[in-house]
Structure 1
Amino acid sequence: MTAPDINSPDEQIRYQRGLEVLNAVDGGSAPAVMENLADIAPALAHHIVAFGFGDIYSRPGLDPKQRQLVTLGILTALGGCEPQLEVHIRTSLNVGLTPTEIVETFTHAAGYAGFPRALNAITIAKKVFTERNLLPVKDD
């Protein structure tokens, strides 16, 4: 079985759609992620954009805030995804989630994913909030 040609017209349409969505929510860190993969896994970089954002994030039914809440919950539950969680905390702020909503998401996740994973997520959130001068978190 051969891998799909990431340069085919159909793949490029998916990729361009994904870039539009990614640029709308990301806040500028996506190019660095894609460049970091270019020399070792260009197809993975392509699929992150084409599938992740061109196919999944561009679907109707959930707005960007709702998608980020789901993503934060899943990454917290999975554990071991702290670099991706950091990116998605930034993205969550970019699409309008408040620090209080993000912290509440991790607090809620503690009941399902456990306190260690929720604490790991809060640690990453504190780092991002500190960088953006959003501490202390205030009730909205």
Structure 2
Amino acid sequence: MHSILSRRKVLSSAAAAAGAFAAGAPARAETHPSPDPDADAVLARMTNLSERGLSLPLKSRHLVMLATLSAIGLPEHVESAVKAALEGGLAPAEVKEAIYQTTPYVGFARVSSVLKSANKALLEKGVRLPLPSEGTVTNDTRFSEGFRVQSGIFGDAIRRMHETAPESQKALLVRDLTGWCFGDYYTRKALNLRERELITFASIVALGGCEAQVRAHVNGNVAVGAVKQNLIDALEVGLPFLGFPRTLNALAVVNDVLKD
């Protein structure tokens, strides 16, 4: 009987910590016992960011987790991840920008579904909303600034794409890809270019079936200073929510692009 009670106590503690996504995040007391303590214990172990993705700074691990959860669209887990990120030292603006950065890749629907939970977590942590704007462009400059950043990452291929895109497709391939993805997001403050490109990689991986875009952003990450192990470790951070098929598909792309 003593061993059964001890096991239940351990599982209850793990359940309280599940979803914390933080190195040393304090466990929170459960008002009601979890109906799934075994599952919660595994989740707590698999999302302990002090033991996963170790080539990445802890801040980047939190950014990858926020991006993965936002891209999949998991509001309850985003709420826990936001609190853990704040406890881990991220500024509120960094947390918000991690979620915003996923938008042009996963769409407004998924991002809107998690922002309410993120805002709830921020408010519970005493953060006043709305935060000051991190935007740096206007409607008149978003395209030119987006082109500057996009070309800085992907080189002359962007100019060639603009020149060769069929006229009927330029609204998508030129105006929106450059103006929205890069002009509206990559130019924002609070996160640097390397962090934003890592978030983009994590977001696209989370969608699944986007190997061509994963390939492009493997190269993009390298262009802004990442190394192969950083991308492998980003996959390790996201694995508990991605599952193995999506993770291994993305890993195959990383290995193909960045051969040892």
SS in 1 for 2:258: helix
Equivalent residue for 2:132? Answer: none
Aligned residue pairs total 122
Task: Spell out the pairing of 1:11-90 with structure 2 (5 A cutoff).
Answer: 13-34=141-162, 37-45=165-173, 46-90=175-219
CA contact (8 A) 2:194 2:224 kept: yes
CA contact (8 A) 1:68 1:91 kept: yes
Distance 1:33 1:79 in 2: 25
Distance 2:170 2:232 in 1: 34
Computed over aligned residues only, the root mean square deviation of the Cα atoms, in angstroms, reads 1.9
Amino acid at match of 2:241: Y
Higher alpha-carbon deviation: 59-68 or 31-40? 31-40
Amino acid at match of 1:85: V
Amino acid at match of 1:128: V
Distance 2:191 2:258 in 1: 25
Distance 1:81 1:53 in 2: 19
Higher alpha-carbon deviation: 114-123 or 21-30? 21-30
Change (3 A) 1:85 1:28: farther
Higher alpha-carbon deviation: 21-30 or 91-100? 21-30
Unmatched tracts of structure 2, length 5 or more: 1-137
* TM-score, with structure 1 as normaliser: 0.78
Distance 2:141 2:241 in 1: 38
Task: Spell out the pairing of 1:58-137 with structure 2 (5 A cutoff).
Answer: 58-130=187-259, 135=260
The higher radius of gyration belongs to 2
Change (3 A) 1:36 1:124: farther
Encode CA deviations 1:82-117: one digit per residue, 9 max, x unaligned: 111111000000000111111111122211111110
Distance 1:23 1:51 in 2: 14
Percent identity, please. Answer: 28
